[in-house]
Every structure is written in structure tokens, then in C-alpha cells.
Amino acid sequence: SQTIHQWPATLVQPVGSPLSLECTVEGTSNPNLYWYRQAAGRGLQLLFYSVGIGQISSEVPQNLSASRPQDRQFILSSKKLLLSDSSFYLCAWSPWVAVTSTDTQYFGPGTRLTVL
Amino acid sequence: DAKTTQPNSMESNEEEPVHLPCNHSTISGTDYIHWYRQLPSQGPEYVIHGLTSNVNNRMASLAIAEDRKSSTLILHRATLRDAAVYYCILRGSLSYNQGGKLIFGQGTELSVKP
């Protein structure tokens, strides 16, 4: 069966410090990968998605970046954190699908980031 | 992706059925209707999806209006563990480079009273 891992679970960082959040998926190959974030309250915001190694699409311009160095590894980074980056960050995966299909996304447990 | 409209919150009593509505008047012919839910402090989880016909699975049922401009997620017997935010999302059919992204709205916060 497939499993998605995220770490760390919680993180407290000072303003201006760098960030690296990691997400890995087990039990599947060539998944689509996604980074979302959720500020206090509801509503997830899609940040990045990737359909393959080295292929990153950005949805929202900001001081965050994403990389996919391996097939089942997705990393969210920042060179300098802002107070507004405090949020709940979620990684998700979905099976790679052929044209004209639909699929389900599976979410990780999330990382709660507080920037002070 | 077309927009969906859901009530901000709903209440239910334990062991009673719950009908969560969703309006999507601008849905296109190829949009699938997906439902996810998010329990407190967890990531969202898939509940059900459909295109035109009503769908049932072990978690819930999805009733889709004939004109597809609205749908209803049905929890047949609400439990305390069903208290969550429920999201109704429209998804178009995928092509290779689209990645199948989900656009989340604000959802409906369901509270279940014992």
C-alpha cells in the first residue's frame, strides 16, 4: 500500500531563516506531487505541483520554491521566511494518470510552521 | 475550474442522516464532482466523487442533480467522528501536464451533537 510522509510535524523558525520541508511517498511510482498550505481557518491554497522529476509548476508567486530531486521526493524551501509564512503545510500525491481521466489525491499529515 | 458554493456550517445529531449541499451552476460537461473532508489538525481525505450518476461507497453517498448544477453529500448515520470540514470540488478531466490540481473553497464545517 502507498504511504506519504512529511517532516517535521511541527517547526518554529525565526523570521529571515531558511526553510526546508520534505515529503516522500512510498509504494507507488511516478506520482503527481503537490504542496498546499492552509492558514488559520479553512481553505487550502495550492502552492506547487509536479508531474515528474525536475518538473515544477508554481501556482502562487511568493518567497517559496519547490524541488523534486527524486521520483517520490518533494521539497518545499525558502531562503528567508516571513511572518506571513506561518501556516499548516500539506503535501499530497495522486497516481499518474493517462489523458482524460480523474483521480484521487492523498494527503500527508502536514507540517505546522510558526515563524516568530 | 468552476466555482462551488457551500454553506459555512451545519449541525447534525449523532446517528441521524446528514445532507451536505453544494451548488455548482457553472459546471462544465467534463467536470467531476469530488468531495473531501478534513478532520481537525489533519490533512484532507477523499470521500467520494461522481460525474452524472449517483454514487455510493462505504463512507457516503453522492446525489447529483439531473442538470448537474448541484449535488448533495449524504452521510447516512452521522457519528462524532464525522465532525469535519467538508469540501466540494470540481475537477476537469486531466491531461498529462495538468497535474490534476484541486482548488479548495471554504467548505462546510459539520458539527455532530451526541
**Chain A residues whose beta carbon lies within 8 Å of the beta carbon of residue B109:** 42
**Cβ(A17)–Cβ(A113) below 8 Å:** no
Instruction: Tell if the CB–CB gap between B99 and A49 is shorter than 8 Å.
Output: yes
A46 at the B interface (CB within 8 A)? yes
Mean pLDDT estimate for chain A: 90
Whether A39 shows a pLDDT value over 90: the answer reads no
Whether B18 shows a pLDDT value over 90: the answer reads yes
Closest C-alpha to A75, from A1, A6, A4: A6
Q: What pLDDT, in 10s, does the model give residues A67-76? A: 999 999 999 9
Mean pLDDT estimate for chain B: 90
Whether B12 shows a pLDDT value over 90: the answer reads yes
Q: List C-alpha distances in Å: A46 to A42, B20, B54, B102.
A: 13, 24, 29, 8
State the CB neighbour count (10 A cutoff) for residue A85.
20
Whole-angstrom distance, CA of residue B103 vs CA of residue B90: 8
Q: List C-alpha distances in Å: B50 to B28, B54, B93.
A: 13, 7, 12
B29 at the A interface (CB within 8 A)? no
pLDDT at B30: 81
The answer for residues whose C-beta is within 8 angstroms of residue B94's C-beta and 6 or more apart is A97, A99, A100, A101, A102, A103, B100
Greater pLDDT, A61 or B63? B63
Q: Tally A–B CB contacts below 8 A.
A: 76
As a whole number, mean pLDDT of residues B7-31 equals 94
pLDDT at A99: 44
**DSSP tag of B58:** S
Instruction: Tell if the CB–CB gap between B94 and A103 is shorter than 8 Å.
Output: yes
Whether B104 shows a pLDDT value over 90: the answer reads no
Minimum distance, in Å, between the CA of residue A54 and any CA atom of chain B: 13
Q: Name residue A11's beta-bridge partners.
A: A113
The dihedrals phi and psi of B31, each to the nearest 5 degrees, come to -80, 130
Minimum distance, in Å, between the CA of residue A13 and any CA atom of chain B: 20
